[in-house]
Amino acid sequence: MTEDVLSKEYYSVEERYADLINGIGFQGRQVVKKEDLQELDTQTGIWQMPFKGRKKKRSIRNRDLVRKTAFGINFAVIGIENQEIIDYALPLRNMAYDVGEYERQASKIRKEIRKNRNNLTKGEYLYGYAKDSKLYPVVTFVLYYGKEDWNGASDLHGLIDFKDIPKEMKELVQNFKTHIVEVRKLKDTSVFRTDIRQVFDVIRCSEEPDKLKELVTGDSAYQNMEEDAYDMIAAYTNVEELISMKEYHRKKGGKVDMCGAIAGLIEEGKIEGRLEGIKALIETCEEFNVSKEDTLERIKEKFSLSKENAETYLEKYWEK
């Protein structure tokens, strides 16, 4: 399963969705409960395009996840987008998601207004929007898992060329800000109450073996993880061995011992990075007098490398 599919399934659990909103949006305050959430269609955008022949086309965008969230007698629409690679046009894409949701809401209002024509002004009937019609607020959180620091624009103004544009004119151009959460740079995960905390912590520490081992051995939650949480960690740390080892660390009730799996991999040197893993493999091949050609083939197979890249790693080792 791809990271995109895994993350959608993982956050589809309402308890986690509420936890994510509380952790990111309210610094851990328990404002939203899982009972407050209503699932919405992830397809958004209903702009009707001009007629082409006899067909009327619509522009549809697919979001990752979106929920209608109750706040007292009111609602807000809160979306989650998962991002592993930097999208330098992200503010534009997110703006389209949010505008599409507002347009979807406005379309429902238009239908209701035109069903009840009584006491409407000419403008209310013509445009399908009454003076007292209101939209629910829309917010989108972007979870970025990449190792590279986010260096793209975080708002619409960051995408616009304002060279030689007068300051007064720039101030008239509406801005749109995005809410980007860099998972690997989170400093305080205690704001989360579900296993989101454990998932984010392993992803944050995945490049530091000593810190990672201390983390998983110091938190008993890692000994009884839900399988989808385990899979999230395996996917976003790019440690394929975690998937192959899952069956060996499965426990009763569908839980998995992440602590045992990671501790074992650390001992084998597989968490310390590809180069260290390749180095260990080469040393083993040397010990058993495996030929250079066979060693090269084993590196290619185990680490899914091209022949050229495998040769590069092998040459670096021989240089040392």
In the chain, where are the structural domains located? 3-184, 195-268, 274-319
Query: What's the confidence (pLDDT) of residue 43?
Result: 64
pLDDT at 254 over 50: yes
Give the orientation angle of helix 196-205 with respect to helix 227-236, to 10 degrees.
Answer: 20
Say how far apart CA 75 and CA 227 lie, in whole Å.
Answer: 32
pLDDT band for 10, please (50, 70, 90 cuts).
very high
Residues 64-108 have pLDDT tens digits of 899 999 999 999 999 999 999 999 999 999 999 999 999 999 999
Give the orientation angle of helix 3-11 with respect to helix 227-236, to 10 degrees.
Answer: 140
pLDDT at 50 over 50: no
* Least confident among 19-23, 56-60, 230-234: 56-60
In the numeric block, which tokens belong to residue 134?
A: 């209101």
In sequence order, what are the residues at sequence separation of 6 or more whose Cβ sits closer than 8 angstroms to the Cβ of residue 36? 18, 69, 70, 71
pLDDT at 174 over 70: yes
